Structure 1
Amino acid sequence: MSGNAKSVSIGPMPSITRRLLLWLSAVITVLWLVAAACGAIVMQTEFGEIFDSALQETGDRLLPLVVDDIMQRDPLQSPMQILSAINPDSDGYLIYQVRDGSGRVLMHSHAEAAAPLPAPLTPGFWQNDKYRIYTTTAVSNSIVVQVADSMVHRHLSALEAGLAMLLPVIGLVPICVIAAWLIIRRSLTPVEHFRQEISEKDHGNLAEIDLTPLPKELQPIGRSVNLLLNRLRSALDAEREFTANSAHELRTPIAGALAQTQLLLARLQEPDARARAIQVETSLQKLASLSEKLLQLSRAEAGIGSTDAPVDLVPVLDLVVEDFQRSGARSLVYDRPLEVSLPRAVSEDAFAIVVRNMIENATRHGRPDEPVTVAVKEDGTISVVNGAPVLSPEQLIMIRKRFQRASATTPGSGLGLSIIERLADQMSARFEILSPASHRKDGFEARLVI
């Protein structure tokens, strides 16, 4: 069971670029479609006027010719179809017929025009669902020329014109969307740069943000962020300086008081006096340990975790383990392959503080009858395992906090794991705590993956 706190899952946040692109695409598409629809309506009206003009001109030009021809024909002769010289069987959209005053068809242009057209024999335009008809008369309304245009032809012409306008729109909309995306992306580049600069700020990186690439609208925000970073940096520097100075100032008098107490304890013979002296010695040792942890915490807050050049961390680990083995306080098992090496761009001092706290935590809180195992793997994983009861997930989360321990009776200052996590973050490492330990039913394991 891992001791890492579960992170709250947050859905994808809406992007300004995505939102602008969607709105612009929708507006562009709607405007193009409205423009195409308006154009189609206007074009249909104009087409109607053009077709009506063609009907009227055809009828007026045809009328003198028909009158001259009719005057030379026998009135009792059957209706005559005027065939096209180009294609006699043509079914053109424009048809016409010549009628007398009674409505009898004298001439017609197509076979379908042999029957009288439904329009009245009065000059002007007339329309039904099938035809638009223009009527003109001569010789005291005794000769009537009617020219008809198919409504299907008109509707198809308007439809083809509308499609001719709509098809380019369908092709232009994606081009406009791509152009809008490129423009938005280029315009929001300073905003993205500003966002990335802010996201990189933490306790170890509080440098001011470069305001040069920011547009005028973001300059006040950038200046406010820099002022806030300056105040935060000053506060953190003051806190680190106070912690470091306090720890340094406390170490010497605490060490002196502890030495005097131990000397006094060696000379005391009375049981009550020795018991009190032992309590004073224990308190001074706890105070010395706390001052040491505060000094380590101040160094961790100062950002000493990383370096520019990689170094092999195995000799540092060997030295720390050997120091604990020489102290003889607890049995320590060191499992390290001979050929393993850990070249990392990590501060040796920070790495030593982390390993020392991991081993110290294991020796202090583990079962006295079980050894502490320090293992190194070739992938850069360092694990420290000790025997201990299984901790609950709530306890694993709690002990990661500063000055927090598994219980009130647990020894220690509650700063070791916080120091490890802070330095591990600076070393770009991952720190995990497991209870029970790997491949065990109990125990506690601290694991550092560099």
Structure 2
Amino acid sequence: MRRNQYSLSGHLVLSISVMLAILWAVGVGLAIHVMRGEFDEVFDSGLQETTERLAPLVVDDFFRRDTVDEPYRIAQLRSDSTDEYLTYQVRDASGRVLMHSHNVDAVPYPAPLVPGFWSEGDRRFFTVATIKDTLFIQVADSLEHRQEATLESAIALLSPILFLLPIAMLATGWIVVRATKPIDNLRVAISARDGANLEPIDIAGLPAEIATIPLSVNTLLGRLKLAMQAERDLAANSAHELRTPLAGALAQTELLAGQLERPSDKARADRVLEALRRLSQMLEKLLQLSRAEAGIGLADSVLDLSALFDLLVEEFRRTNPSSQVEIVRKGSQAPIVKRLDPDAFAIAFNNILENAQRYGMPGHPITIIHDPAGRITVSNVVVDPLEPDVNIYRRRFRRGNSRAPGSGLGLAIVDTLMSQMGGALVLGSRNAANGDVVFECTLDLDASNAATMQAR
């Protein structure tokens, strides 16, 4: 199952930006907390100073006026004044309001007649006692004014982050991308290494933190290159060393069988010849499997698939004259250029042709469909019933219910080679119109198309 992947640079940019926003918010919160305390001190100081300066003026004005039973309301000097946050009352020792400002009614303040500060509700009071504690001047300040000042200060501190955070994200992204560029280059270089490209990775310009990674990868690539070369050499040498004595044994056995006269001896010689031929076929498939596992399917060069296809079909017809082959070409006949190894493709294509010839019903043709996308489908009518899941035949030594001679390795070799060539072997079966069961092998050199066909 594929794991979810994410960008390292994107993760760093997002993390750093979120961290900056959180730190800025925490800093603003601490600043607002400190500012709130400073604002309270400033407003309290202004409230106290206003009350103490107002006290002698109010007392002097109070004694200049005639004594009345109703509280005296000070008239408003400016009618256009709207931001008036301070109000005051002059009260006697019993708490009765004697005089009050124009922006407050005659209802006594809830603050007690005790000198000092008092807070209740949304107002802050300061009380001053005069004339031997018989007259009290109380000034009230609106706490909403203080909250408004704090809120405006907080907005002034927070608003820059709305403009600076996108700029900080762009700057952080630019820095992170430049800092992680060597890592991205190393990722691209490592992803480009496969069985066809085992060249060492250039470590020039890499930072010290990741310089050891390509050194280890280069060491591994060197060992892998030597191991693959050794496997290829072993396959080639084994083919030369084993085929020659086996061919000699076959030839000597055939001569010996021709010289025998008694039917019993001749029958035993024929069984020996059959066993040697099967051993020769098994050896051929094992050598092909060894070459496939050595990675011969990978190649840097490109070739014309159509020309190679025609050559292989003609060779198969020449070596199997009794087999009837029908070719169906779809689409245009333009050259189909693919990046693959011709020897590997020849092994894969010949194996599915041999599979169709060996397990197909006699008298029925082998049909080959070739389309412009590079898909080659070989189909044949089978003699024996197929397994419910035909993909079981791609496993090694799985031959189904057929009694025809075979190694059970052909489709396994094809599956391995197609994976190396960037494609896939797609197996399927269908019922023909006359009731015959048709087995299909498709060589699809486009992995995305192969995945779609297998999903169907």
Give the TM-score normalised by the residue count of structure 1: 0.83
Deviations 1:187-215 (A, max 9, x none): 44444444454445444443333334544
Structure-1 separation of matches of 2:83 and 2:444: 87
> What does 1:40-439 correspond to in 2, within 5 Å?
40-76=32-68, 78-87=70-79, 90=82, 92-169=84-161, 184=176, 186-212=178-204, 214-297=206-289, 299-300=291-292, 301-303=294-296, 306=299, 308-311=301-304, 313-326=305-318, 327-336=320-329, 340-345=333-338, 346-388=340-382, 389-392=384-387, 396-397=391-392, 399-406=393-400, 411-436=405-430
Question: Which of the numbers 440, 446, 449 marks the counterpart of 2:444?
Answer: 449
Instruction: Label 1:91 to 1:250 Cα distance change in 2 as closer, same or farther (>3 A).
Output: closer
Deviations 1:371-390 (A, max 9, x none): 21122223332111111245
CA RMSD, Structure 1 to Structure 2 (Å): 3.5
Secondary structure (helix, strand or coil) at the match of 2:140 reads strand
On the 8 A contact 1:437/1:445 being kept in 2, the answer is no
- Give the residue type in structure 1 aligned to 2:244: T
Deviation at 1:446, TM superposition (A): 1.0
On the 8 A contact 1:336/1:376 being kept in 2, the answer is yes
- Give the residue type in structure 2 aligned to 1:259: A
On the 8 A contact 2:399/2:408 being kept in 1, the answer is yes
Q: RCO (CA 8 Å, sep 6+): is it higher in 1 or 2?
A: 1
Secondary structure (helix, strand or coil) at the match of 1:210 reads coil
- Give the residue type in structure 1 aligned to 2:58: V
Deviations 1:152-207 (A, max 9, x none): 33333334433444454566566656665665555444444444544454444433
Deviation at 1:324, TM superposition (A): 2.6
Query: How many residue pairs align between the two structures?
Result: 440
Deviations 1:377-421 (A, max 9, x none): 233321111112453365523x32445443695532333223333
On the 8 A contact 2:324/2:366 being kept in 1, the answer is yes
Structure-1 separation of matches of 2:365 and 2:178: 61
Structure-1 separation of matches of 2:159 and 2:96: 48
Instruction: Label 1:390 to 1:272 Cα distance change in 2 as closer, same or farther (>3 A).
Output: closer
Secondary structure (helix, strand or coil) at the match of 1:357 reads helix
Instruction: Label 1:357 to 1:21 Cα distance change in 2 as closer, same or farther (>3 A).
Output: same
Structure-2 separation of matches of 1:127 and 1:305: 86
Structure-2 separation of matches of 1:219 and 1:409: 59
Instruction: Label 1:342 to 1:403 Cα distance change in 2 as closer, same or farther (>3 A).
Output: farther
Deviation at 1:94, TM superposition (A): 1.0
Please identify, of 23-32 and 385-394, the stretch whose mean Cα deviation from structure 2 is larger. Answer: 23-32
On the 8 A contact 1:97/1:145 being kept in 2, the answer is yes
2:451 maps to none
Structure-2 separation of matches of 1:111 and 1:339: 96
Structure 1 gap segments, 5+ residues each: 1-8
Instruction: Label 1:305 to 1:125 Cα distance change in 2 as closer, same or farther (>3 A).
Output: closer
On the 8 A contact 2:196/2:300 being kept in 1, the answer is no
- Give the residue type in structure 1 aligned to 2:228: L
Deviation at 1:83, TM superposition (A): 3.1
- Give the residue type in structure 1 aligned to 2:279: L
On the 8 A contact 2:70/2:98 being kept in 1, the answer is yes
Structure-2 separation of matches of 1:231 and 1:11: 29
Structure-2 separation of matches of 1:438 and 1:172: 71
Structure-1 separation of matches of 2:77 and 2:123: 25
Give the TM-score normalised by the residue count of structure 2: 0.82
Structure 2 gap segments, 5+ residues each: 446-456
On the 8 A contact 1:97/1:113 being kept in 2, the answer is no
Please identify, of 276-285 and 293-302, the stretch whose mean Cα deviation from structure 2 is larger. Answer: 293-302
Instruction: Label 1:58 to 1:234 Cα distance change in 2 as closer, same or farther (>3 A).
Output: same
On the 8 A contact 2:330/2:370 being kept in 1, the answer is yes
Secondary structure (helix, strand or coil) at the match of 1:443 reads strand
- Give the residue type in structure 2 aligned to 1:361: N
Secondary structure (helix, strand or coil) at the match of 2:76 reads coil
Identical pairs, percent:
42
Instruction: Label 1:352 to 1:186 Cα distance change in 2 as closer, same or farther (>3 A).
Output: same
Deviation at 1:57, TM superposition (A): 1.5
